[in-house]
Amino acid sequence: MAARTSTPEKRPGFFSQLKTLYTFTQKEYRWLPFLLAGIVLVGIALGVVVGFLIPPLAVWSIILWGVTGLLAGILAAMITMTRLSTTAMYKKIDGMPGATGHVLSSSLGRHWQASETPVGVNPRTQEALYRAIGRGGVVLIGEGNRSRLTRLVGEERSRVQRIASGVPVTVLYIGHGDEEVPIAKLASTIKALPKKVDRATMAAVIKRVASVSPGLSSLPIPKGVDPTKMRSPRPR
């Protein structure tokens, strides 16, 4: 019988992750290497200029400021690449089933509780309804055709209002039409909601909603569709 190993799975190192992030972003923005190189060169140039302007004028001072500009340029390039990678990710997952769950589970932060698993799914059309709970109350997010989500939204809103009376319930729909929220702005839209619930009430609402929410097995999931796998591909 083969011996079991308790060695934890080795995670990719920093430079490996950086390479993966660069490759992912460069596929969407072909001009990325020129932009990053330009940012680094501008940083070096600014550092050298500062070295010339600050007395006493000396070679070592110019070199030191040039190295400082290089490091600043590298930092600015990494920040720029990270922001572009986020934009590229949103463009890639826009319109994909499960994109809402991915954003809710990875981008809301510690002040909100949400899951990438929907709380309701239309078995015929596969429209999905997600839920987030935080200081701004309860937010229901519909993914799919708005008119076909009416029943799911109505049932979940009634359930929440029944067990958490007085807690504000906000309904959002993902899309690019009127009164719809693009997937790229979902997290910022939820975080911008006014804080009307204190921490104690938020914790109580989370427990109450969880106690009456249907389990995953009771959702009307059509054959071949597993909401736990309805997720957008993460940049690896």
Q: What is the reported pLDDT for 32?
A: 94
E strands present in 68-155? 112-114, 120-121, 128-134, 137-143
Q: What is the reported pLDDT for 230?
A: 41
Give pTM, 2 decimals.
Answer: 0.72
Q: Confidence band (pLDDT; 50, 70, 90) for 13?
A: confident
**Residue 214 pLDDT exceeds 70:** no
How far is Cα 216 from Cα 221, in angstroms, rounded to an integer? 9
